[in-house]
Amino acid sequence: MKSFVALFALLAVAAANPLPLVQLIINVDAPAAPGAVAPPSKPEIIPTPVIVVDEAENVVIPEPVVLPDPVLPEVVIPEPVVLPDPVLPEVVIPEPVVLPEPELPEIVIPEPVVLPEPELPEVEVHPVVALPDELN
């Protein structure tokens, strides 16, 4: 009987796609009668003695810290930096560019196109076919 209930619950969850709205929890190993479950037992509380400490055994009194006299660092005065005299760069004047004389391009005049005289097309006149009156 328990397996039928578990199978029915599994089918109900599968039919509720995409997600079930209710989560079913089934204990298959539970006893048949619900009254047979024993109530949980409460653990026994055993008091333990508390040891109260009156005063700390090691009392430490700090001594003042003695710092040594400060020593000033040795002052180093740097020598002045001697820079060489500035030298202007040598001026380079470029040579002028010599362009050749401009030349006009050679003009090519095309020769006229000579067309032949127009001719009328040859027209063949076929004899007139007289249809009988029955076909008209």
Bin 110: left if φ > 0, else alpha if -120 < ψ < 50, else beta. beta
The 10s digit of each residue's pLDDT in 65-122 is: 899 998 888 888 889 999 999 899 888 899 999 999 999 888 889 999 999 998 888 8
What is the per-residue DSSP string for 4-40?
HHHHHHHHHHHHT-S--SS-----TTS-SSGGGPPPP
> Is 115 part of a structural domain of the chain?
no
The stretch 5-22 carries a mean pLDDT of: 72
Q: Does residue 13 lie in a domain region? A: yes
Read off the pTM.
0.17
- Tally of domains within the chain: 1
Residue 16 lies in a domain: yes
Query: What is the residue range of 17's domain?
Result: 2-27
In a domain, 34, yes or no: no
